[in-house]
Amino acid sequence: MKRPLKISFIALLALFIIIQFIPRGHNEGIARGGNDISKATIFPADVNIILQRSCYDCHSNHTEYPWYSKIQPVRYILDDHIRNGKKELNFTEFASYTKRRQRSRLRAIRQSLSEGSMPLSSYILIHRNAILSEKEKQRLQQWAKTAGDSLSLKN
Protein backbone atom coordinates (compact mmCIF):
# COMPACT_ATOMS: atom_id res chain seq x y z
CA MET A 1 0.00 0.00 0.00
CA LYS A 2 1.43 3.38 -0.93
CA ARG A 3 2.08 5.76 1.94
CA PRO A 4 -0.56 8.47 1.08
CA LEU A 5 -3.23 5.80 0.59
CA LYS A 6 -2.28 4.13 3.86
CA ILE A 7 -2.41 7.45 5.73
CA SER A 8 -5.83 8.22 4.23
CA PHE A 9 -7.15 4.79 5.23
CA ILE A 10 -5.87 5.17 8.80
CA ALA A 11 -7.36 8.67 9.05
CA LEU A 12 -10.76 7.44 7.81
CA LEU A 13 -10.66 4.51 10.21
CA ALA A 14 -9.77 6.82 13.11
CA LEU A 15 -12.60 9.19 12.15
CA PHE A 16 -15.06 6.28 12.00
CA ILE A 17 -13.99 5.13 15.47
CA ILE A 18 -14.13 8.64 16.95
CA ILE A 19 -17.66 9.41 15.69
CA GLN A 20 -18.92 6.31 17.49
CA PHE A 21 -18.41 8.19 20.78
CA ILE A 22 -20.33 11.34 19.83
CA PRO A 23 -23.57 11.41 21.83
CA ARG A 24 -26.79 11.30 19.89
CA GLY A 25 -30.44 11.93 20.62
CA HIS A 26 -32.96 9.22 21.18
CA ASN A 27 -36.58 9.21 20.08
CA GLU A 28 -37.69 6.82 22.78
CA GLY A 29 -40.44 8.77 24.48
CA ILE A 30 -43.98 7.68 25.22
CA ALA A 31 -45.66 6.18 22.16
CA ARG A 32 -49.16 7.17 23.29
CA GLY A 33 -49.47 10.42 25.19
CA GLY A 34 -52.34 12.74 25.99
CA ASN A 35 -52.11 14.43 22.58
CA ASP A 36 -52.11 11.19 20.59
CA ILE A 37 -54.02 11.02 17.32
CA SER A 38 -56.43 8.53 18.89
CA LYS A 39 -57.68 11.37 21.13
CA ALA A 40 -58.46 13.67 18.18
CA THR A 41 -59.91 11.44 15.48
CA ILE A 42 -61.83 8.29 14.77
CA PHE A 43 -59.10 5.70 15.22
CA PRO A 44 -60.06 2.10 14.42
CA ALA A 45 -57.90 -0.79 15.64
CA ASP A 46 -56.95 -1.93 12.12
CA VAL A 47 -55.69 1.57 11.25
CA ASN A 48 -53.70 1.66 14.49
CA ILE A 49 -51.97 -1.62 13.61
CA ILE A 50 -51.02 -0.41 10.12
CA LEU A 51 -49.74 2.96 11.36
CA GLN A 52 -47.75 1.34 14.20
CA ARG A 53 -46.06 -1.06 11.78
CA SER A 54 -45.37 1.32 8.90
CA CYS A 55 -45.37 4.90 10.18
CA TYR A 56 -44.74 5.35 13.89
CA ASP A 57 -40.94 4.88 13.86
CA CYS A 58 -40.55 8.22 12.06
CA HIS A 59 -43.86 9.92 12.86
CA SER A 60 -44.19 9.56 16.65
CA ASN A 61 -42.26 10.26 19.83
CA HIS A 62 -41.21 6.61 20.07
CA THR A 63 -38.94 4.78 17.67
CA GLU A 64 -38.07 1.10 17.79
CA TYR A 65 -34.40 1.34 16.86
CA PRO A 66 -32.83 -1.54 14.90
CA TRP A 67 -29.42 -2.93 15.90
CA TYR A 68 -27.59 -1.04 13.18
CA SER A 69 -28.76 2.32 14.56
CA LYS A 70 -25.95 2.12 17.11
CA ILE A 71 -23.38 2.55 14.33
CA GLN A 72 -22.46 6.03 13.19
CA PRO A 73 -23.05 7.55 10.63
CA VAL A 74 -26.16 5.38 10.18
CA ARG A 75 -27.62 6.85 13.38
CA TYR A 76 -27.23 10.39 12.02
CA ILE A 77 -29.17 9.44 8.91
CA LEU A 78 -31.92 7.75 10.96
CA ASP A 79 -32.15 10.69 13.34
CA ASP A 80 -32.47 13.07 10.39
CA HIS A 81 -35.32 10.99 8.92
CA ILE A 82 -37.06 10.88 12.30
CA ARG A 83 -36.63 14.62 12.91
CA ASN A 84 -38.02 15.46 9.46
CA GLY A 85 -40.83 12.93 9.78
CA LYS A 86 -41.96 14.31 13.14
CA LYS A 87 -41.76 17.87 11.82
CA GLU A 88 -44.22 16.98 9.05
CA LEU A 89 -46.51 14.76 11.13
CA ASN A 90 -46.25 13.53 14.70
CA PHE A 91 -48.99 11.08 15.64
CA THR A 92 -48.07 11.44 19.33
CA GLU A 93 -48.72 15.21 19.22
CA PHE A 94 -51.56 15.22 16.68
CA ALA A 95 -54.30 16.30 19.13
CA SER A 96 -52.29 19.44 19.97
CA TYR A 97 -52.42 20.60 16.34
CA THR A 98 -55.06 23.11 15.30
CA LYS A 99 -58.09 21.57 13.57
CA ARG A 100 -56.92 23.14 10.32
CA ARG A 101 -53.49 21.53 10.61
CA GLN A 102 -55.06 18.19 11.58
CA ARG A 103 -57.18 18.24 8.43
CA SER A 104 -54.15 19.27 6.38
CA ARG A 105 -52.06 16.40 7.75
CA LEU A 106 -54.86 13.91 7.06
CA ARG A 107 -55.05 15.18 3.47
CA ALA A 108 -51.27 14.84 3.22
CA ILE A 109 -51.53 11.22 4.37
CA ARG A 110 -53.99 10.50 1.58
CA GLN A 111 -51.82 12.28 -0.97
CA SER A 112 -48.62 10.53 0.14
CA LEU A 113 -50.33 7.16 -0.10
CA SER A 114 -51.74 7.85 -3.56
CA GLU A 115 -48.32 9.10 -4.78
CA GLY A 116 -46.52 6.18 -3.13
CA SER A 117 -44.09 8.53 -1.39
CA MET A 118 -44.72 7.02 2.05
CA PRO A 119 -43.31 5.01 3.62
CA LEU A 120 -39.95 6.10 2.25
CA SER A 121 -38.33 3.62 -0.10
CA SER A 122 -35.13 3.85 1.97
CA TYR A 123 -37.15 2.76 5.03
CA ILE A 124 -38.93 -0.18 3.42
CA LEU A 125 -35.69 -1.35 1.86
CA ILE A 126 -34.68 -2.62 5.29
CA HIS A 127 -38.09 -2.77 7.04
CA ARG A 128 -39.88 -5.10 4.67
CA ASN A 129 -42.80 -5.51 7.08
CA ALA A 130 -43.58 -1.79 6.66
CA ILE A 131 -44.55 -2.21 3.01
CA LEU A 132 -48.22 -1.34 2.56
CA SER A 133 -50.46 -3.53 0.45
CA GLU A 134 -52.95 -1.85 -1.89
CA LYS A 135 -55.72 -2.87 0.50
CA GLU A 136 -53.90 -1.24 3.44
CA LYS A 137 -53.27 1.93 1.44
CA GLN A 138 -56.96 2.11 0.53
CA ARG A 139 -57.93 1.52 4.16
CA LEU A 140 -55.66 4.31 5.38
CA GLN A 141 -56.94 6.67 2.69
CA GLN A 142 -60.53 5.86 3.62
CA TRP A 143 -59.78 6.41 7.30
CA ALA A 144 -57.93 9.71 6.66
CA LYS A 145 -60.86 10.99 4.60
CA THR A 146 -63.45 9.96 7.21
CA ALA A 147 -61.37 11.41 10.05
CA GLY A 148 -60.82 14.66 8.12
CA ASP A 149 -64.53 14.93 7.32
CA SER A 150 -65.42 14.41 10.99
CA LEU A 151 -63.01 17.19 11.96
CA SER A 152 -64.70 19.49 9.45
CA LEU A 153 -68.06 18.78 11.05
CA LYS A 154 -66.73 19.69 14.51
CA ASN A 155 -65.93 23.26 13.43
The total number of structural domains that make up the chain = 1
Q: Is residue 108 part of a domain?
A: yes
Q: Is residue 4 part of a domain?
A: no
What domain range includes position 140?
Answer: 26-154
Q: Is residue 20 part of a domain?
A: no
Q: Is residue 17 part of a domain?
A: no
pLDDT in tens, the chain (155 residues): 577 778 887 877 777 777 676 666 665 656 566 788 988 888 899 999 999 999 998 899 888 877 777 778 778 888 888 888 989 999 999 999 999 999 999 999 999 999 989 888 888 887 888 899 999 999 999 999 999 988 766 65
In SS3 terms, the chain reads as: CCHHHHHHHHHHHHHHHHHCCCCCCCCECCCCCCCCHHHCCCCCHHHHHHHHHHCCCCCCCECCCCHHHHCCCHHHHHHHHHHHHHHHCCCCCHHHCCHHHHHHHHHHHHHHHHHCCCCCHHHHHHCHHHCCCHHHHHHHHHHHHHHHHHHHHHC
